[in-house]
Structure 1
Amino acid sequence: MYKVNEVFETIQGEGSFTGAASIFIRLQGCPVGCSWCDTKHTWPVSAQMQQPLGDIIIKTAETEHWAAVSAAQLVTLFSQQGYQAKHVVITGGEPCMYDLTPLCELLHSKGYSTQIETSGTYEIKAPEQTWVTVSPKVNMAGGYKVLKSALDRANEIKHPVAMEKHIDELLQLLQQTDCAGKLIYLQPISQQRRATELAIAMCKKYNWRLSVQVHKYLGIS
């Protein structure tokens, strides 16, 4: 059973799948503690906040409520909601607190592609064909370390940046893994102009890519 904060269909706004119609599964629970996190309502897991899945689907505001849902129930929900997207993004919270293999395998068997967005602080349990986006969180309040195994598994590394020290952190992380075949993105934190200018300059310098959170510019979820 997965603790699900919300499920919705939208356009992926970040990284390699930018522009792709996607179904997002947002899982509850994260101890990493990123100061700029825009989904802090997914951090705590309280038994008092558990609700039926039907209530989760219709909620209209960000809340700490979650539902215990099986992989099979999620696939059924996609059909019930009339979702047309065939790409599923599993995010959080920190989705890799969970074993995502059963969910991803079922989705693949039903014709969906899968993607995980993780901080890289937990072991990644997912099938080989699942696309893994590691957005490494360094020196966060929770004290968790970015795992070499997560960097090795990543198909893309999407690093949040606001200042020069974030570039230095990324360069140190990249020394721990073989970057051949991996896509490296810089994503300006909070769409700050200074952060965006820094990210563009560093993308030019190191031949990386820019991720600009298109969904925020469009004003969609």
Structure 2
Amino acid sequence: MKYPVNEVFQTIQGEGVHSGVPSLFVRLQGCPVGCSWCDTKHTWDVLKEDEVDTHVIISKRLDSPQYTQLTGSELIALFQKQNFKASHVVITGGEPCMYDLSELTDTLIEAGYSIQIETSGTYEVLVNDRVWVTVSPKVAMKGGMEVLRAAMQRADEIKHPVARESDIENLDALLAESELDASDVFICLQPISQKARATKLCMDTCIERNWRLSVQTHKYLGIA
């Protein structure tokens, strides 16, 4: 199976439980969720005219909707050709769970990589059982998609974007609807756009509930 790959790069994971881990990011094209604050809106549409050769993706320096189609084995060959050293792969988007990722994650795990998926929770999560699933639930977005109970229950980590108190209330409702106890999963609160008010709200809530703070360290460091 081939997957529409918008971008592949090596960096340090800046968010959530794996913050600080050297990582290979694989960004897939396509997302119907419609988050207003999204910083990768160029990945939303999958148009045939944007499909390009793999060498264009590797040399890409600016955000664009261009993508290439790769199998898991072709992706590993690309890692090797680029001489990437990280062994942790983060599959993100877009919304990666638009696609059945079973074959891709099986192939990467068989090759010795650890895998993390970042998803909005609006699609069924079809991955190898050993994949670390990060659900960043998107509630009442423009696309009108529902966060699935099954996706929440598959999560190893819930990384929740927060701007105001109502975002905390939405998370509480999702946890209750999904019959998830906060002790069963890592919960990371992530302030939207590093705003001081949102950061304080996240810090206060994390201290009160013994949750974790995710501060998007890559943005403070000015790296990808």
Q: TM-score, normalised by structure 1?
A: 0.99
Q: Equivalent residues in 2 for 1:13-28 (5 A)?
A: 13-28=14-29
- Deviation per CA, 1:14-36: give whole Å up to 9, x if none: 01110000000000000000000
- Identity over aligned pairs, percent: 56
In the alignment, which residue of structure 2 is the partner of 1:198?
201
In the alignment, which residue of structure 2 is the partner of 1:186?
189
Instruction: Give 1:181 shift.
Output: 2.9
Instruction: Give 1:177 shift.
Output: 2.8
Q: Hey, what's the Cα distance between the residues in 1 that align with 2:104 and 2:88?
A: 13
Return the letter of the residue paired with 2:208.
Answer: K
Alignment of 1:215 with 2:213, yes or no, is no
Q: Hey, what's the Cα distance between the residues in 2 that align with 1:199 and 1:52?
A: 42
Q: Hey, what's the Cα distance between the residues in 2 that align with 1:190 and 1:54?
A: 32
Greater mean deviation of Cα atoms: 130-139 or 205-214: 205-214
In the alignment, which residue of structure 2 is the partner of 1:146?
147
The answer as to whether partners of 1:151 and 1:177 remain within 8 angstroms in 2 is no
- Deviation per CA, 1:154-208: give whole Å up to 9, x if none: 0000000000100000000111232343100100001111100110011112111
- Deviation per CA, 1:49-90: give whole Å up to 9, x if none: 110011011011000101111111001000000000000000
Instruction: Let me know the Cα RMSD of the aligned residues.
Output: 0.7
Instruction: Give 1:97 shift.
Output: 0.4
Q: Hey, what's the Cα distance between the residues in 1 that align with 2:135 and 2:174?
A: 11
Following TM superposition, the consecutive aligned residue runs of length 4 or more in structure 1 with deviations greater than 2 angstroms are 177-181
Alignment of 1:71 with 2:69, yes or no, is no
In the alignment, which residue of structure 2 is the partner of 1:132?
133
Alignment of 1:6 with 2:11, yes or no, is no
Q: Hey, what's the Cα distance between the residues in 2 that align with 1:31 and 1:108?
A: 28
Q: Hey, what's the Cα distance between the residues in 1 that align with 2:173 and 2:144?
A: 18
List gaps (5 residues or longer) in structure 1: none
Q: Hey, what's the Cα distance between the residues in 1 that align with 2:119 and 2:7?
A: 17
In the alignment, which residue of structure 2 is the partner of 1:36?
37
**SS of equivalent to 1:16:** coil
Q: Hey, what's the Cα distance between the residues in 1 that align with 2:91 and 2:30?
A: 13
Q: TM-score, normalised by structure 2?
A: 0.97
Q: Equivalent residues in 2 for 1:25-174 (5 A)?
A: 25-174=26-175
**SS of equivalent to 2:184:** coil
Aligned positions, number:
221
Q: Hey, what's the Cα distance between the residues in 2 that align with 1:2 and 1:71?
A: 8
Return the letter of the residue paired with 1:219.
Answer: G
